[in-house]
């Protein structure tokens, strides 16, 4: 279980530019949770995502995984970004997915299957010759191949055309069962296909936490 206890975050603390992005966030995510995070621009969603992924140490409170303080070095949590191209550093799909890992082609193919990219068609393709949606799925395969326990995605559906968006929604609906996933999104149309629980943020606070349909209704009728 991933637990946030009184987590808050102030950017540039102690300077004239200090800005509070999160305050007193308390959250328990049991293993295999499927969560979406919604809320207006600037409400703290990305800040929360970075903290959940272990990429940002909150300035207040603690975040623990099974009672141990979360550390990125452990590799239990992972994040894939909206701008997938920034995360893809190798020339080909195969080289990128196995980047830094001693993996055989079977593991690479299995990760490509997880993101609905046919390994036979995509394994040797050049990253630069993929569409934006395909690049995003390769980045996700590169994360899944590491078998994180917690996967955090910030706006994975933003800017995709309808077919690419649909295939990514399908992928997110079929993530490995033992994974906890947290998806930050403004695109709530298919939210119930990718999550059963939703968090609604409002200016740095969790203002609703519950079943997706219930929280999304609260989000439109405050």
Ligand X SMILES: Nc1ncnc2c1ncn2[C@@H]1O[C@H](COP(=O)(O)OP(=O)(O)OP(=O)(O)O)[C@@H](O)[C@H]1O
Binding site for Mg ion (CB under 5 A): 45-46
Residue 43 — φ and ψ, nearest 5°?
A: -80, -10
Is the Cβ of residue 10 or residue 158 nearer to Mg ion in the bound state? 158
In the complex, minimum distance from the CB of residue 184 to Mg ion, in angstroms, rounded to a whole number: 6
Give the binding range for ligand X (CB under 6 A) out of 35-43, 121-129, 138-146, 208-216: 35-43
Residue 45 makes contact with ligand X by CB under 6 A: yes
For residue 192, CA distances in Å to 105, 125, 133 come to 34, 33, 21
As a whole number of Å, the end-to-end CA separation of the chain is 30
Residue 193 makes contact with ligand X by CB under 6 A: no
Residue nearest to Mg ion (CB): 46
Q: Which among Mg ion, ligand X, none contacts residue 211 (Cβ within 5 to 8 A by kind)? A: none
Residue 12 makes contact with ligand X by CB under 6 A: yes
Which tokens is 9 given? 């975050």
CA angle at 43 for the pair 186 and 45, rounded to the nearest 5°: 60
Q: Is 137 helix (H, G, I), strand (E, B) or coil?
A: helix
Contact positions vs ligand X (CB under 6 A)? 11-12, 19, 21, 39, 41-47
């Amino acid at each position: 279980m991933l637990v946030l206890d009184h987590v808050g975050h102030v950017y540039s603390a102690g300077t004239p530019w200090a800005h509070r992005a999160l305050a007193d966030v308390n959250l328990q995510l049991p293993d295999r949770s499927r969560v979406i995070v919604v809320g207006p621009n600037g409400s703290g969603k990305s800040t929360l995502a970075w903290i959940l992924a272990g990429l940002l140490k909150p300035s207040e409170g603690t975040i623990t995984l099974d009672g141990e303080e979360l550390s990125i070095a452990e590799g239990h949590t992972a994040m894939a970004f909206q701008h997938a191209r920034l995360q893809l550093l190798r020339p080909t799909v195969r080289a990128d997915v196995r980047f830094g890992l001693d993996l055989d082609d079977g593991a690479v193919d299995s990760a490509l299957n997880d993101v609905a990219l046919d390994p036979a068609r995509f394994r040797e393709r050049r990253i630069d010759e993929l569409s934006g949606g395909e690049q995003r799925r390769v980045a996700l395969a590169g994360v899944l191949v590491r078998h994180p326990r917690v996967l955090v995605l910030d706006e994975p559906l933003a800017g995709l055309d309808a077919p690419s968006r649909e295939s990514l929604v399908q992928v997110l609906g079929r993530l490995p069962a033992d994974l906890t996933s947290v998806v930050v999104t403004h695109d709530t149309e298919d939210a119930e296909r990718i999550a059963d629980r939703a968090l609604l943020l409002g200016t740095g606070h969790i203002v609703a936490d519950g079943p997706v349909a219930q929280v999304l209704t609260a989000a439109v009728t405050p």
